Amino acid sequence: MDMVSRMRVMKFFNVILARLWRRRCSEVCELNELVRKYESKINKTHDELIKRNKMICHEQRRCGHWETELRRVQAVSDLNMRRCVTIEKALNVACGQRLHLSKELQAKTLECNNASDLLNESRTEMFRELSKHRECAKALAEQQRLNRWLEIRNVELEDELMTLKDRFQSQHDDVSVAMHKSKLQLDDTYERLKDFEQQLTEFQL
């Protein structure tokens, strides 16, 4: 090969090498730019990951706080529930006592009414006997001019009437005492009922 041909071949190869070199330089620049982009993206991703980790830690702390608050509220709720159960039991007991006292009051009221009826009957009977006594005394005065036997009989009748009067007076006194005792018991039962009603009102509040 002559010198000219060799120069042409070398020139051709130099041109090809120059083109390849420029292409490689361009590819290297593109790769460097791509590496910078990836590095920037990695840095951004790393920063975002740090932010997200901080957010996760913050949310975990918040969750821990709310879990603690939830346990506290649950404990308070359980305590209030137990208090409500206790109050409900006390209220049921108070209602039972109130019902018992109401029945007892009704029984005492009925007893007092019966005693009052008995007293009225005793008074009526006593007045009737006193009326009989007056009639007998009048008849005795009219019959005094009769014989001694009638006078003795009249005295006996007077003694019997006085005995009846004393007996009915004693019955009247006994009934009065019984009514007084029943009234005291009724007043005591009424006061106890008022106390239990007040306690029941306080429990309901």
Token pair of 148, please?
A: 């001694």
Q: How big is the CA angle at 128 (ends 126 and 131), to the nearest 5 degrees?
A: 110
- Summary mean pLDDT of the chain: 83
pLDDT at 2: 65
Confidence of residue 144 (pLDDT cuts 50, 70, 90): low
Whether residue 41 has pLDDT greater than 70 = yes
Q: Give the mean model confidence (pLDDT) for residues 159-181.
A: 83
Over the stretch 88-130, which tens digit does the pLDDT of each residue have?
Answer: 888 888 888 888 888 888 888 888 888 888 888 888 888 888 8
Instruction: Return the SS3 of 1.
Output: coil
Buried b (16+ CB within 10 A) or exposed e, 27-59: eeeeeeeeeeeeeeeeeeeeeeeeeeeeeeeee
Share of the chain above pLDDT 70, in %: 94
pLDDT value at position 180?
A: 81
Q: Which of 46-50, 67-71, 156-160, 173-177 has the lowest mean pLDDT?
A: 173-177
What is the predicted pLDDT for the residue at 155?
Answer: 80
Look at residue 150 and tell me whether its pLDDT is greater than 70: no
In this model, does residue 1 exceed pLDDT 60? no
Res 154 pLDDT > 80: no
Both structure tokens of 194: 């008022």
Give the model's confidence band at 205: pLDDT under 50 very low, under 70 low, under 90 confident, else very high. low
pTM score > 0.85 for this model?
A: no
* pLDDT the model gives residue 59: 87
DSSP 92-157: HHHHHHHHHHHHHHHHHHHHHHHHHHHHHHHHHHHHHHHHHHHHHHHHHHHTTTS-HHHHHHHHHH
